[in-house]
Every structure is written in structure tokens, then in C-alpha cells.
Amino acid sequence: MKNKIWLITGISSGLGKALAESVIEKDDFVIGTFRHQSQVDEFNKSNTKNAKAILLDITNEKSIEENIKNIISEYGKIDVLVNNAGMGFVGAVEETSLKEVRTVFEPNFFGTLKMTQTVLPYMRKEKSGNIVQISSHGGIKAFAGFGIYNASKFALEGFSEALAQEVAPLGIKVSIIEPGPFRTNFAGNGLGQASTVIDDYSDTAGAFRTKLKGVDGKQEGDPIKASKAIIALVNSENPTLRLPLGKVALMTIGMKLESVKSDLETNRETAKDAVYG
């Protein structure tokens, strides 16, 4: 098979669905994951040429290992892995139980890490491949009420930045996608919320929760345009490590960079003095 084989997690809706559709239009082959067998069956009935749906739970290590093994056995390789599946979550840090934190980290960090680790041996064998991590502008800048989600995406970005350096000499490329608000189901039914609400955080985390729900369906980002940008990045000879998407992402990431630079300059002499001399 000459065309690229893409493995995209979480293609039932949103950016994952749009990306799968755009890749199929480009005549590459998509293997997309769903969490329910009925979704798999429905997809496979209507997509018989350039795509195949599989049942995969990224929070289940055995499911990941078995599915990757089956894909390699049937298709011989995975050219592009897109770790898209994940979940949103709102709530102040204090409002969020450790059980809820783990629920967020399982797909957003551990599942994504396991997918990456499981595909890597096959990409190393081919001395080629692209790993695309769907992060967020919230993987660079944190927001009150978004701290646990931010933490999961900060963790994703941390290991992916290191991974990019580790695999570059092996012919494998890593890209971190950082969308701002996009018109998906992220702020709708797919959004997790802390079960505890503390009134003292009503003006910070509470206000963010209300704002996020209020923009559902009105976000600036176009998933199809984002998909085309991701495909162009994958097909470029020298893809950048990071790809922000949307005007809001440019603004918020820019704010973070300015804040870090300001703190660096303010504390430059203090930092210099904290050494043996």
C-alpha cells in the first residue's frame, strides 16, 4: 500500500472525526478508533475503501497492545499515529477529587503514552513515521478552573518534547498540536466536571465553567481547516514541533511566553546569585 496509513484515536466526533474525513479525502488510509461496537459497525458499513474502524479503549493497555499487533499484522506498518482521544474537565484544583484527576489523566496522559510506546517499535523498524499529539493551548498556558486538564496536557507536552529529541535521529517525527477553542463537543456533553463546588471559587473556576459552557457551539475554530493544517504539517519535510491553531491559541500562548520572559528578567540576578562562587 503506497499511501500513508494513519491510526487516529477517537474519531467519533470533533477534531478526530474531521481529521479522519480529511485524510480519507486525500486518499490515504485511516484506521480510526471508537469506544462502542455499534459505532465501529456503523462506520465500517459506510466506509469500505480508504478506512477501517476498530474498537479500542485507550485506557486499557491490553486493548492497545492487541489492536496495534493486529494492525501491523494486517497492514504491515503505521505511518502516522494521531493521539486524539481524550477528555475535557473543569473544576478548581481543590474541588477535584483524586479519583476525578485519575479519570482525566488515564486517557489524556497514560493512554496517549501507552499508544505512543506501543507504536514506536514498529516505526523504529521502518526508520520513519509521524507521531501527532493533540494537545491544547491549555497545554502551554493554564487557566483557573482548568487546572487538572492543564496538568494532563502539560504532562503530554513534556514527554512529547523529550520524545521528539529521542527519535529524531531514528527518522521519526513528533508534532504537538495546540488548538484553541474549536467547534466540537469538547465544551458540551464530552466535558467532565468536578462533582464538588466550593463557593469561594465562584469568581474564578466557577466563572470559567460558566464561560466554557456558554461558548459551546460558538467557538471560533473550524475542525476541517484544522485537519487540513495537520495534514500539511505531517506532509511537510521539516514539521515544527508545535502547531498552534486558532487566533485564541496565538493570543494565549503569546501571553504565556511574555509572562515567562517577564519572570525570567525580573529574577535574572537572583538566579545568577544562587550558585557556588
DSSP, res 106: I
Pair 78, 72: CB distance under 8 Å:
yes
Question: Which is nearest to 162 in space by CA: 180, 141, 176, 179?
Answer: 176
Instruction: Please indicate whether residue 12 is annotated as part of the active site.
Output: yes
Catalytic residue among 153, 175, 201, 227: 153
| Cα atoms in the 13 Å half-sphere on the side-chain side of 135 | 33
Instruction: Please indicate whether residue 175 is annotated as part of the active site.
Output: no
74/125 Cα distance (integer angstroms): 16
The residues, any chain, with a CB within 8 Å of residue 96's CB and separated by 6 or more, are 89, 147, 148, 194, 196
Instruction: Please indicate whether residue 236 is annotated as part of the active site.
Output: no
Instruction: Please indicate whether residue 153 is annotated as part of the active site.
Output: yes
Backbone Cα Rg of the chain: 20
DSSP, res 182: B
71/108 Cα distance (integer angstroms): 22
C-alpha cell at 86: 481524550
136/177 Cα distance (integer angstroms): 7
Catalytic residue among 4, 52, 114, 149: 149
Catalytic residue among 4, 17, 135, 173: 135
Catalytic residue among 4, 12, 114, 160: 12
Active site residues: 12, 135, 149, 153
